[in-house]
Amino acid sequence: MDSYLDEIKEKLLLSGMPYDVELIAAAYQLAFNAHEGQMRRSGDPYVSHPVAVALIIIDLGLDTDSIVAALLHDVVEDTPVPLTQIEKQFGPDVATLVDGVTKIGRIPFSSREEQQAENIRKMLLSMAKDIRVVLIKLADRLHNMRTIDSMPEKNQLVTSLETMEVFAPLAHRLGIRTIKDELEDLSLRHLDSVAYNEIEVALEHRKDEREALLENIKSRISERFKSLTLNVHIEGRVKSVYGIYRKTYMQNRAMDEIYDIYAVRIIVDTVNECYNILGVIHDLMRPIPGRFKDYISTPKPNMYQSLHTTVIGKEGIPFEVQIRTWEMHHTAEYGIAAHWKYKLGISGREQLDSRLDWVRQLLEIQREVNDSEDFIRSLKTDLAPDEVYVFTPKGDVISLPAHSTPIDFAYVIHSAVGHRMTGAKVDGKIQSLDYELKTGEIIEVITTSSITHGPSRDWLKIAKTGEARNKIRAWFKKERREENIVQGKSDIEKEFKRNGILIADAEHNEFVDSVAKRQHFNNTEEFLAAIGYGGILLSKIMPRVKDDYIKIAHPQTIQIPENITSRHTSGGIIVEGLENCLVKISRCCNPLPGDKIEGFVTRGYGVSIHKEDCPNVLQNKQNAEYEGRWVNVHWAENVGHSFKAGLRVVSSDRYGLLADLTSLLAGLHILIHAVNARELKSGLAEIYLTVNVVSISQLQSVISKFSKVQGVIEVSRSGDKR
Ligand code: MN
């Protein structure tokens, strides 16, 4: 009989769980045959690796399918056996697990940046819709780290760094302390071998002393418990090398200052017993004030629960005591995996289907207990379907909103990449530009070197991110003025037709001119161009255009009645006594909804609206020449239109300032009409922006957001539009 198989079978037996041993043996047989002739670098037959991974999975207490998948995890990638055969022989669940592990294996973990590592960890979790895939991958990595000495030195460093940055934190987040500690120690041994050896020597040096101490404490505690009829388990534990490393090297503390290098762990059956024992311990030995932590009532974010206290023993040496129940102990050691260990024994396989429910439940509980920790938030985002993580060919992770396309991807890389994009490869295959990106895919943008190439207008409909759409619009605005005008003309014609606006040719241009003026454009071409590149949405301005048209088609004289009886709105403004009159927001003071306003009846342009404190109002209100032409006006309740507002920003001049301001506006979906910046003598910069806002409160929020931008000294409204 095969010794590997014997080892597996023995472990299965010892676990005492109802495993399908025959199926596991069959998986071993398939792995054995498939990897026949392949060797590990260590000189062992290749199959030793999947066997070792399977043994770790059994230790974690996972189910039959996970063990089978662990045995087969490298078969699809490294041998001719296809996934379909695995599915046929072991069922779709196993096939999904193997496929998941294989896909994760193809992720190029090349970047070193912290953010990158975090993205990869998130991606691993979100990719693995089944958390067992991540657990098998962790076991795979653990065995590879255990055997890393046979790898070339350069690979050792890269793999260790990757393990430290991606896999150990992942194990930590899932609460699997056993794997996390071992991964960290194995990585540290290669990343900082000097420190590792130093700590190891120091620990070894005090080993006898420590063991004597722990023995002594254990016996004192046991002695005390003899009279109590409790089922108490006491063990000594030493902090992991990396744990000590973090406290000594990174927090700059001497080893003597670390209280929890040695700890005594007391495991009992119930929560009540935990607190009773705490009392006994404090009675027995003097506690150090401020060192007691109740992680039972307030669990750590990764589900850890225990009571911690630090006491001073007879010898005057402080040490930590951890008190917990068996269930808490298993959760502390195996984290999320403890779920299988418990549930499998009780009610069998059907429990596995609700595994994600369990995570959700856990999150619910955690939220109630401790909302402040980032675990909840991060695991929530991990499992949230609203983000995808994809790769550049170099292995950088790019995060995008769900349903993003290659166009969105290209514009995140760089505007120039987007503008010159002609196609995209996803995982090496050409895909259409509206292809929906999925987490884990590698995206390669195909570009042309021709500088005249640009985006297509259709991309505006395909792109999902505002960033991509803004950049596409900006390109059209800048590069295609003539084209934009033609496009704008055709768009406005279509929209006129749709709205039943029929104007004789002779009056047509004049009408469009007046519309452009109403939209505060200096000339009609600019207005048409803005429509063309999408800077102006016709659907937004059409209601007003229609109003104007009706007035032209059915002209009426503006008359001011003697008695004001009725109120009607026009363009978001109520003019007392006048029905459907043309209203024009004056450009001298750009009033906004919420501002106190005055109306002035012009000759031929309807009523112009000014701020109450506009110099034009102050100067002319009492002027006899204009008697009777000032009318009372108010803002309508719901102003559906947007308004131009001028802003003046004074800031210390710095690189990227303007970009920060404009991207802030883009984030708020606020359109910018004009930007004018100049350097002041004092080294400060003065920036005038004209923006489209819907209300005073929106403008105020822009002002307050601007004020928080780095370097900004003053933000104010400016009537003066430059
Ligand atoms: Mn492997």
Same domain, 10 and 114: yes
Residue 211 sits in which domain range? 200-341
Question: Active-site residue numbers?
Answer: 77-78
Whichever domain contains 242, its CATH number is 3.30.460.10
Question: Which residues pair with residue 325 across a beta bridge?
Answer: 268
Which pLDDT value is given to residue 637? Answer: 62
Cα–Cα distance, 216 to 196 (Å, whole number): 29
Same domain, 243 and 331: yes
Coil vs helix vs strand at 517: helix
Q: Using the 3D structure, point to which of 478, 495, 529 is the last residue of a domain.
A: 478
Quick one: which of 217, 208, 268, 264 has its CA closest to 236?
264
Q: Is residue 349 part of a domain?
A: no
- Residue 680's identity, in one-letter code, is L
Compute, in angstroms, the gap from residue 345 CA to the centroid of ligand 1: 28
Q: Is residue 722 part of a domain?
A: no
Same domain, 271 and 369: no
Quick one: which of 665, 656, 710, 714 has its CA closest to 690?
665
Same domain, 670 and 588: no
Same domain, 219 and 326: yes
Inter-residue contact 431 to 424 (CB < 8 Å): yes
Q: Is residue 562 part of a domain?
A: no
Compute, in angstroms, the gap from residue 98 CA to the centroid of ligand 1: 11
Compute, in angstroms, the gap from residue 56 CA to the centroid of ligand 1: 12
DSSP class of residue 288 equals: P
Q: What is each CA distance from 41 to 48, 144, 150, 152, 443, in whole angstroms?
A: 11, 11, 6, 10, 32
Same domain, 360 and 335: no
Same domain, 204 and 314: yes
Coil vs helix vs strand at 647: strand
Which pLDDT value is given to residue 9? Answer: 93
Same domain, 262 and 315: yes
Compute, in angstroms, the gap from residue 8 CA to the centroid of ligand 1: 17
Which pLDDT value is given to residue 411? Answer: 93
**Successive 10-residue mean pLDDT values, the chain, 722 residues:** 87 87 95 92 92 94 91 91 93 90 71 61 62 88 94 88 86 85 94 91 83 82 75 85 86 75 88 88 85 84 84 80 89 74 42 40 40 38 60 79 91 90 89 88 86 83 87 83 85 83 74 83 84 82 80 47 39 71 76 82 76 82 76 71 81 81 82 80 82 81 87 79 38
Is pTM beyond 0.75? Reply is no
Same domain, 361 and 417: yes
Compute, in angstroms, the gap from residue 35 CA to the centroid of ligand 1: 12
Q: Using the 3D structure, point to which of 299, 317, 341 is the last residue of a domain.
A: 341
Same domain, 33 and 170: yes
Q: Using the 3D structure, point to which of 147, 162, 191 is the last residue of a domain.
A: 191
Same domain, 46 and 163: yes
Quick one: which of 468, 386, 480 has its CA closest to 434?
468
Whichever domain contains 35, its CATH number is 1.10.3210.10
Q: Is residue 560 part of a domain?
A: no
Q: Is residue 561 part of a domain?
A: no
Same domain, 649 and 540: no
Cα–Cα distance, 79 to 40 (Å, whole number): 14
Q: Is residue 237 part of a domain?
A: yes
Compute, in angstroms, the gap from residue 172 CA to the centroid of ligand 1: 21
Count of domains observed in the chain: 6
Q: Is residue 103 part of a domain?
A: yes
Compute, in angstroms, the gap from residue 441 CA to the centroid of ligand 1: 21
Q: Is residue 350 part of a domain?
A: no
